[in-house]
Amino acid sequence: MKFYRDVYTQVPEFADELKKFNQKLVYISPSLPTAFISNKPFDSLEQLKGGKWRASSRWHLLFLKNAGATAVSIPWGEMYMSLQTGAVDGCMSNYDGLHMTKQDEVAPNILVARELWFATPFMVTINLDVWNSLSKADQEGIEKAAAIALEKYEQAYADGVTGIFDAEKKAGLNPRYLDIEAVSRWAETCASAKADQQWLEDLKSARIVNAESIVARLSALHAKAIEEDRKITMSKN
């Protein structure tokens, strides 16, 4: 969550994009981390190879393709039946979304990647004209409420993961946590570098000025956030 806030305060191009739509960012947070669910038994992400897997965005579809899977795009509302009928073998998405839509009922084999954040932010914005019409006291009240919500969400995030995991266990499903080595292998072989390069090419194609600089600053903030998270994790162990 701190990473999101740093992006919008330290990479002005992101905030400027919101201003083009006359919006001010009030609150931003992630969903729960990434999970992989399948209607077939599997014990590692290497077993995605050769299967037909669904993801939500071009980037996650790219990750699945890099893992050797046949990556498919299917409307979210059709996923329960697609998993139930075997039209697809599995789905990669945010853990809470998979559970809330009950996809884990028909795809009970679950690998949860606690360290693999699902990088789709949920944003609350306010029209700038409306914001500017508010009194300073009201503005400060909204900002204080957002800060409190973010602080409390950190614990809610951890509780949300364990809550779903325990509920799935109780229901007789087969959830397991991926260890950090497995998550690191996925990140190194399937994610970051290739996606970063594709995003840079997209920015250049869209004639975005400072494309290399934007990606470089974002990558630096991301690396800093990972290192800070690593230190916090080590201090707790």
pLDDT of residue 236: 63
pLDDT of residue 64: 94
Burial (CB < 10 A; 0-12, 13-18, 19+), residue 58, is middle
pLDDT at 158: 86
Q: What's the CA angle centered on 183, arms 85 and 181, to 5 degrees? A: 130
Averaged pLDDT, 75-96: 97
Q: What is the mean pLDDT of residues 117-146?
A: 94
**pTM for this predicted structure:** 0.86
The per-residue pLDDT for 150 is 87
Bridging pattern class, strands 52-54 and 70-72: parallel
- At residue 192, the pLDDT reads 61
pLDDT of residue 197: 78
Residue-level pLDDT at 193? 59
Token pair, residue 69, equals 């899977």
The pLDDT confidence band at residue 222, using thresholds 50, 70 and 90, is: confident
Whether 106 has a pLDDT exceeding 70, the answer reads yes
The confidence score (pLDDT) of residue 237 equals 55
How is residue 155 written in tokens?
């614990």
User: Is pLDDT at 167 greater than 80 in this prediction?
Assistant: yes
Q: What DSSP state is assigned to residue 215?
A: H
Lowest average pLDDT, out of 55-64, 67-76, 98-107, 182-191, goes to 182-191
> What's the 3-state SS for the chain?
CHHHHHHHHHCHHHHHHHHHCCEEEEEEECCCCEEEEECCCCCCHHHHCCCEEECCCHHHHHHHHHCCCEEECCCHHHHHHHHHHCCCCEEEEEHHHHHHCCHHHHCCEEEEECCCCCCCCEEEEEEHHHHHHCCHHHHHHHHHHHHHHHHHHHHHHHHHHHHHHHHHHHCCCEEEECCHHHHHHHHHHHCHHHHHHHHHHHHHHCCCCCHHHHHHHHHHHHHHHHHHHHHHHHHHC
Q: Average pLDDT, whole number, for the chain?
A: 91
What digits encode the pLDDT tens for the residues 173-192? 999 999 989 998 988 887 76
Q: Tokens 């905030």 identify what position?
A: 15
More confident residue, 226 or 130: 130
Instruction: Give the pLDDT score at 194.
Output: 66
Name the E strands within the chain: 23-29, 34-38, 52-54, 70-72, 90-94, 109-113, 122-127, 174-177
The per-residue pLDDT for 232 is 67
User: Sorting pLDDT into bands at 50, 70 and 90, what band is 209?
Assistant: confident
Amino acid in the structure at residue 122: F
Strand partners, 119: none
